Structure 1
Amino acid sequence: MLQAIVIEQLRSGNLHQAGKVWALKGEINLASADALVDLVRSRLARETPRVREGLEWLALIRRVPLFVLLDVLDPAVVADLEKAGYLQVGETGRRWVSLKDEYVGEVIRGWMDLPRRKELHSLVARAVGATPADMDVEELLGYVAWTLDCREPVEPAFALAAAEAANKLYDPLFALECLSQIRVEDPHWAEAAQQRAAAHITLAEHEAAVSILEEVTAEQLSELAATAYATTSSISAAPSCGSRAATTGSGKSLPEQPLIFPGGRGRP
């Protein structure tokens, strides 16, 4: 915020150099709660419409690989954003790009209405990977979080992958938010149930975890691949704390899950 105030005062001419001393011509008024918003609005008002749109887009997505940014925005706009000091660009790997000043993104997100969020969301649809496997964890979680924030539907495969990643990062609430996008008629329903149970276990809601697993039908289980056993066994082991099952408040035990092979067969 201090940097923003200094930059704004320099640009407006209120902060100037007199000999070897920097001085203010007038008073800086930060008394009102809207002072920071006014500061950002004033700064953005001097930018071109294309630069403002780029800032809005980055404020929503928060963090994006450089190659995606260059695919979505005109490279000349990206150059203008960098020249103006708005961007922070990583030096290695996928060269992640974000807004250098986080408060700018916070202010922009605060004044942006839902229709505008949806409009900007459509810009990135063509630039994201075709499958979750095309993204790394940070990119996947960022994209799904942004999509949910824009009130846009998340494809079941993306929702499931993001939920699994969130559970591994001990963020069960976000995992459950992702899984709310998966319906019972979707092919990922059984795997989604596993992740729901895992999230509830992390929240110490063992009875809810048991109920979710009990609701999965044999037909839905038959759609699981053999590799689903790794997820299922980790769910049943998570709350055990040295025992083979966790007892819920109602006296029910979290059941051990059998190894599920395609076709719904248990381990011989």
Structure 2
Amino acid sequence: MNPWVRLMSKNVANICIMLILPLVFIIIWFYLAKSIDNTVILPSPAMVLQLLSHPSENLISMGSLTNNIFISLLRVLAGYILAVMLAIPLGILMGYYAKIFQLFNTFVGLFRPIPPLAWVPLVLAWFGISSFATLTGVERGILFIYLNNIKLSMVFIIFIGAFYPVLTSAIYGVKNVKKTLIDSARVLGASESDIFFKILIPAAKPSIVNGMRIGLGVAWMCLVSAEMLPGSLSGIGYLITHAYTIARTDVVIAGMISIGVVGALMDTLFRIFEEKKFKWQRLIR
């Protein structure tokens, strides 16, 4: 058989396998919706598909799916980027220097088990409904509209969710670097700076990037909770909550599917980056 035909057949077979469960789920959903015959309890797949196929249309006077997803992405990225900027340097230092690990480990171990939602009362007391617009002093224009939607309380909840997975992966990514690599470099006359930047960091990168991937997933999961906080008038999480209060279950399900699709897309992009950037890691296993 021609190699190209063999490859195409394999890809088609893989796609068919991937589609089996979604198709079974949709069929079961269709028959359940038909049996219940109550769109408040369970709308049909066709109703939800109608909403998803027109993402730019205004939904229940709450803006379009596209616009709400974009605002949610801004909030997630704000909290996630802050978490990465703090967690990676701290994690590397904790992993490399025993004294720094001892200094911070008790603190980290104490706060890591606390769920992000447990911070809500404190966060509201600290930040209220202040936003990035408050911090930057922007008071008008398109920029104000977007910055005012990024509330500090929401960003903090997302930050907490993303921080610990990234921190833990950075710590143990550095700790798991083979000591023989570092000792060999010292024997060959490498400076501490060279060891740190040319051996330690590159060897720990796969673990750090994997932690970033996990952290982004957790940040995205914290989104709906964050968008239920006071001051939120947009975002996919708020859209879902508001749709529930007016018995628009079709909008709730469309929002849930949107969250799943965007989350899966971000995870896939991270996985592709990992596979291309760290192909060498698979070769040495």
TM-score by length of 2: 0.19
Larger radius of gyration between Structure 1 and Structure 2 = 1
Higher normalized helix content (fraction of residues): 2
Higher normalized strand content (fraction of residues): 1
TM-score by length of 1: 0.20
